[in-house]
A = this chain, B = another copy of it.
């Protein structure tokens, strides 16, 4: 994954959480995602296609997922129900969409999101992609964005 492709995902995540949801985010250090580490409890996964193909994973603690859903939906949810799942999918969609717009030259489209739930699930990328993990801390808990993008050779 090219270094210049990372920043659009960082700024897009900050835009979505800070500008749209009014969360305060503190960003941690980027790292190459190597050995399989468990994700946070709820992960929105979305595919990208175009001149580069990839995957974005937006992994949230349960606290962050419920807080984000409450802010987006305007109603409190105690459980990770279908509305919360839709909200997490929409977050992944907005983050991927924002990065896509900044990476105009790659002419990418986003797939539908899927949302993975379960303590200790791991999301792994094809071994040729060198995925990057970008951790954030919000007031309601941790967030981690992982991105793997690979040039498409025709």
How many chain copies? 2
Q: Which of B57, B110, B148 contacts A49 (CB 8 A)?
A: B110
- Residues of A within 8 A of B (CB-CB), count: 39
Taking the closest CB of chain B, its distance from the CB of A103, in whole angstroms, is: 14
Query: Which residue of B has the minimal Cβ distance to A113?
Result: B126
Given contacts A46-B47, A49-B47, A115 and B124 within 8 Å (CB-CB): yes
Taking the closest CB of chain B, its distance from the CB of A108, in whole angstroms, is: 9
Given contacts A47-B47, A109-B109, A126-B89, A114 and B55 within 8 Å (CB-CB): yes
Interface of A is mostly: strand
B residues in contact with A85, CB < 8 Å: 124, 126-127
| Residues A100-154 near B (CB distance < 8 A) | 109-118, 120-127, 129, 148-150
Interface residues of A (CB under 8 A from B): 36, 38, 45-50, 53-55, 57, 82-83, 85-86, 89, 109-118, 120-127, 129, 148-150
A49-B110, A116-B122 given; name 10 further pairs at CB < 8 Å: A46-B47, A47-B55, A49-B49, A49-B111, A85-B126, A112-B150, A113-B126, A114-B123, A116-B124, A118-B122
